[in-house]
Chain A
Amino acid sequence: MKVFSADRLEKLLDTVLKPSRYTGGEMNAVVKPFDQAEVTFAFCFPDSYEVGMSHLGIKILYDIINRQPWALCERSFMPWPDMADAMRREELPLFSIESRTPLDRFDIVGFTLQYEMSYTNVLEMLDLAGIPLYSRDRQDGPIIMAGGPCAYNPEPLAPFVDVFQIGDGEEMMVEAIACVRKCKKAGLSRLDTLRALAGIEGIYVPAFYQVSYNDDGTLADFYPVDDAAPAIVRKRIVRDLDSAAYPEAFVVPYTEAIHDRIVLEIMRGCTKGCRFCQAGMLYRPVRERSLETLLAQAEKLENATGYEEMSLSSLSSGDYTHLTELVCALTERYADRKISVSLPSMRIDSFVKQSLEEAQKVRKSGLTLAPEAGTQRMRDVINKGVTEEDLIRAVTDAFESGWSTVKLYFMIGLPTETDEDLQGIGNLARDVINAYFTVPRSVRAKGLRVTCSASTFVPKPFTPFQWQGQDELPTIKEKQARLGDILHQVKGVNFNWHEPELSMLEACFARGDRRMADVLYAAWKNGCRMDGWTEFLNYEGWMKAFQDCNVDPAFYANRVRGEKELLPWDFIDAGVTKAFLWREWQKAQRAEVTPDCRKGCQGCGLKRFEGVCVDR
Chain B
Amino acid sequence: MKMLVVFEKKERLRHVGHLDLMRAMQRALRRSGVPIAFSQGFNPHLLVTFAAPLSVGMPGLREVMEVPLSAEISEEEFKEKLRAALPPELPCVAVRAVEDRHPAPMAQLFAAAYRVTVQENAAEILAAIPSLLEKESVMAMKRTKSGDKLTDIRPMIYEMKKVDGQRFDCVLALCEAATCKVELLMDALTAESKLETRPRYLAVRTQLLGKDFTPLELL
Contact = CB atoms under 8 A, between A and B. Distances in A.
Indicate whether A and B interact: yes
Interface in B1-24: 10, 12-13, 15-17, 20-21, 23-24
A459 B10 CA distance: 49
A306 B36 CA distance: 13
Interface stretch (B85-93, B168-176, B183-191): B85-93
A255 B20 contact: yes
A4 to B, nearest CB: 16
Contact of B38 (A24, A29, A307, A338): A338
Size bracket, chain A contacts: 20 to 34
B30 A337 contact: yes
A20 B16 contact: yes
B31 A254 contact: no
Given A254-B21, A303-B31, A304-B31, A23 B13 contact: yes
Contacts of A337: 30
B12 A29 contact: no
A14 B16 contact: no
A338 B24 contact: no
B31 A302 contact: yes
Interface in A344-380: 363
B20 A306 contact: no
Contact of A13 (B10, B15, B29, B87): B15
A337 B26 CA distance: 12
Given A254-B21, A338-B38, A26 B27 contact: no
A256 B16 CA distance: 11
A136 B28 CA distance: 48
Nearest to B29: A306
A381 to B, nearest CB: 43
B119 to A, nearest CB: 9
B103 interface: no
The binding surface of chain A is classed by DSSP as loop
B20 A254 contact: yes
A263 interface: no
A54 interface: no
B16 A308 contact: no
A29 B86 CA distance: 12
A22 to B, nearest CB: 8
B44 A252 contact: no
Nearest to B202: A10
A27 interface: yes
A334 to B, nearest CB: 11
A290 interface: no
B43 interface: yes
Contacts of B16: 20, 23, 254-255
Contact of A308 (B17, B30, B32): B30
Given A25-B10, A308-B30, A11 B15 contact: no
A305 interface: yes
B57 interface: yes
A19 interface: yes
Interface string A295-306: 000000011111
A25 B87 contact: yes
Contact of B27 (A13, A20, A305, A363): A305
B110 to A, nearest CB: 29
Interface of B: 10, 12-13, 15-17, 20-21, 23-24, 26-33, 38, 43-45, 57, 85-90, 200
16 contacts: A13-B15, A20-B16, A23-B12, A23-B16, A25-B89, A28-B87, A29-B87, A254-B21, A256-B20, A303-B33, A304-B31, A305-B27, A306-B26, A306-B29, A306-B85, A338-B45
Given A307-B27, A338-B44, 18 more contacts: A11-B200, A20-B13, A20-B15, A20-B16, A20-B17, A20-B20, A23-B16, A25-B10, A25-B13, A25-B87, A26-B87, A252-B24, A255-B16, A255-B17, A256-B20, A256-B23, A303-B33, A304-B31
